[in-house]
Amino acid sequence: MSGLALSRVVRIGAGAGYSGDRIEPAIELAERAHIDYLVFECLAERTIALAQQERRRDPARGYDPFLEARMRAVLPACTRRKIRIITNAGAANPVAASRAVAAIARELGVHGLRVAAVVGDDVLALVQRRAAEDGLRDACGAALSPEQIVSANAYLGAEPIVDALTQGADVVITGRVADSSLFLAPLVYEHRWSADDWTRRARGAVAGHLLECAGQVTGGYFVDPTFKDVPGLARLGFPIGEVDAEGAITVTKLDGTGGCVTVATCTEQLLYEMHDPSAYITPDVCVDIAEATVSELAPDRVRVEGVAGRERPSQLKVSVGHSDGFVGEGQISYAGPGAVARGRVALEVVAERLRLTGVQHDELRLDLIGIDALHGERLSSGGGEPYEVRARVAARCASQCDARRIGEEVEMLYTNGPAGGGGVAKSTRELVGVTSTFVPRDEVHTTIAWEVA
Instruction: List the one residue out of 19, 10, 51, 423 whose CA is nearest residue 241.
Output: 10
Q: Assign residue 332 a region: left if phi > 0, alpha if psi is -120 to 50, beta otherwise?
A: beta
To other proteins, the closest distance from the beta carbon of 79 in angstroms equals 36
Give 222's strand partners.
none
* Total residues interacting with other proteins, rule: CB under 8 A: 53
Q: Positive or negative, the Cα torsion across 231, 232, 234, 238?
A: negative
User: Applying CB under 8 A, does 290 fall inside the site for other proteins?
Assistant: yes
Distance separating alpha carbons of residues 188 and 234, to the nearest angstrom: 34
Residue 97 or 182 with smaller CB distance to other proteins = 182
SS3 (DSSP) at 222: coil
Per CB under 8 A, contacts with other proteins among 105-134 are: none
Give 136's strand partners.
144
Among 1, 4, 356, 379, binds other proteins (CB under 8 A): 379
Q: Do 175 and 145 contact (CB within 8 A), yes or no?
A: no
Residues 6 or more apart in contact with residue 115 via CB below 8 angstroms? 98, 101, 102, 105, 169, 170, 171, 172, 173, 450, 451, 452, 453
SS3 (DSSP) at 178: coil
User: Applying CB under 8 A, does 164 fall inside the site for other proteins?
Assistant: no
User: Applying CB under 8 A, does 369 fall inside the site for other proteins?
Assistant: yes
User: Applying CB under 8 A, does 288 fall inside the site for other proteins?
Assistant: no
Q: Positive or negative, the Cα torsion across 98, 104, 105, 107?
A: positive
Distance separating alpha carbons of residues 283 and 324, to the nearest angstrom: 28
Instruction: List the one residue out of 211, 253, 257, 178 whose CA is nearest residue 39.
Output: 211
User: Applying CB under 8 A, does 313 fall inside the site for other proteins?
Assistant: no
Among 99, 191, 342, 396, binds other proteins (CB under 8 A): 396
User: Applying CB under 8 A, does 433 fall inside the site for other proteins?
Assistant: yes
Distance separating alpha carbons of residues 391 and 413, to the nearest angstrom: 11
User: Applying CB under 8 A, does 179 fall inside the site for other proteins?
Assistant: no
User: Applying CB under 8 A, does 445 fall inside the site for other proteins?
Assistant: no
Residue 102 or 366 with smaller CB distance to other proteins = 366
To other proteins, the closest distance from the beta carbon of 451 in angstroms equals 32
User: Distances in Å between the alpha carbon of 211 and those of 10, 300, 369?
Assistant: 14, 14, 34
Cβ burial 357-380 (10 Å sphere, 16+ → b, else e):
eebebeebebbbbbbbbeeeeeee
User: Applying CB under 8 A, does 168 fall inside the site for other proteins?
Assistant: no
Residue 169 or 307 with smaller CB distance to other proteins = 307
SS3 (DSSP) at 396: strand
Among 57, 82, 192, 275, binds other proteins (CB under 8 A): 275
Residues 6 or more apart in contact with residue 3 via CB below 8 angstroms? none
Among 73, 76, 245, 272, binds other proteins (CB under 8 A): 272
User: Applying CB under 8 A, does 367 fall inside the site for other proteins?
Assistant: yes
User: Applying CB under 8 A, does 149 fall inside the site for other proteins?
Assistant: no
User: Applying CB under 8 A, does 221 fall inside the site for other proteins?
Assistant: yes
Among 32, 46, 61, 310, binds other proteins (CB under 8 A): 46
- Selected range binding other proteins among 28-36, 55-63, 262-270, 340-348, rule: CB under 8 A: 262-270
Residue 42 or 110 with smaller CB distance to other proteins = 42
Amino acid occupying residue 356: L
Instruction: List the one residue out of 168, 254, 173 whose CA is nearest residue 218.
Output: 254
To other proteins, the closest distance from the beta carbon of 434 in angstroms equals 5
User: Applying CB under 8 A, does 246 fall inside the site for other proteins?
Assistant: no
User: Applying CB under 8 A, does 308 fall inside the site for other proteins?
Assistant: no
User: Applying CB under 8 A, does 140 fall inside the site for other proteins?
Assistant: yes
User: Applying CB under 8 A, does 375 fall inside the site for other proteins?
Assistant: yes
User: Applying CB under 8 A, does 264 fall inside the site for other proteins?
Assistant: yes
User: Applying CB under 8 A, does 292 fall inside the site for other proteins?
Assistant: yes
Task: Mark 323-362 with x for binding to other proteins (rule: CB under 8 A) and - for no binding.
Answer: -x--x-----------------------------------
Residue 147 or 291 with smaller CB distance to other proteins = 291
User: Applying CB under 8 A, does 85 fall inside the site for other proteins?
Assistant: no
Binding site for other proteins (CB under 8 A): 45-46, 139-140, 221-222, 224, 227-228, 264, 267-278, 289-294, 306, 324, 327, 363-365, 367, 369, 373-379, 392, 394-396, 431-436
